[in-house]
Amino acid sequence: MANRTVSSRRIVLLLVVTALAMMTLDARQTGPFQGVREAAYSVTSPLRSAVGFILSPIGDTWQGIVHYDDLAAENDELRERVAELEGVVDRLPDREAELNELKIGTDIDFVEALPTIAASVTSDRRTSVERIIEIDRGSDDGLREGMPVVTGDGLVGRIILVTGETSQVQLISDPRTSIGVVSRGTRAIGVTTGDGDGVDLRVDLEEGAVDVLAPGVRFETSGLNASDYPGGIPVGRLVIDGVRVRIEPLADLDRLAFVTVILTEEDR
């Protein structure tokens, strides 16, 4: 065992001496040392391969120790990025729902001839005696009192109060609201008023109209008799429940996130 230890020490010593010799020869590239250098490289090639094989794990370990802080920082950054992406994925259903609400509130196809502006609903202060919401657009955006407010489904209400940056909208379900309406197809004329107990609208139709109208018939603004609304805006569908006749609004007045204001003319 002692002889084996001595032999191992001699091999290590030989490798060290060889390495020093190679360094010396490497520094002398010209003159008589050139031939000696080439011969030494040829003879010690197996030893150099062995040294490289032995020392390579040590080099890898050393590199790992030297760059440990950088690797740790990169790992922390990757973890933060993964957490951020997971959060984005978790929020996708909410974003999809929000985009759907935005589309419903602003995808208008029944007032192509009139300019419009989209707005977000910022508050809802409906009570038993009033149905009012507030939006984030005002006189600074060109809004004024009396302008109709709609969604892609139909009429929501009209602006009753304007400040520089906000406006209050009185919904069509407000008991103080009256709308001149006309049925599609039969052109039966009537007037709706808000139902303070819910979102449905009471409707007073011209004589004999109920006898010829079928449930589900749609009504739109008539635009007649100096109406507060331009004609052709969808309002609701007819509901006949026994002797009770009412109109169910097409716009979902209980879930208003985005709306569109119709920028009507000054003289309307």
Residues in the chain: 268
Residue 244 reports pLDDT greater than 80? yes
CA distances from 18 to 15, 31, 38, 47, 85 (A): 5, 21, 14, 8, 55
More confident residue, 265 or 212: 212
Phi, psi of 77 (to 5 degrees): -65, -40
pLDDT tens-digit map of 147-170: 999 999 999 999 999 999 999 999
Domains, in order of start, for the chain: 2-66 (no CATH), 116-262 (2.40.10.340)
Q: Which two tokens stand for residue 170?
A: 């009185």
CB atoms closer than 10 angstroms to residue 52: 10
pLDDT band of 95, cuts 50, 70, 90: low
pLDDT tens-digit map of 166-211: 999 999 999 999 999 999 888 899 999 998 667 789 999 988 888 8
With a CB cutoff of 8 Å and minimum separation 6, the contacts of 56 are: none
CA distance 85 to 79: 10
What is the residue type of 160?
Answer: I
CB atoms closer than 10 angstroms to residue 260: 21
Q: In this predicted structure, which of 52-61, 100-109, 225-234, 258-267 has the lowest mean pLDDT?
A: 52-61
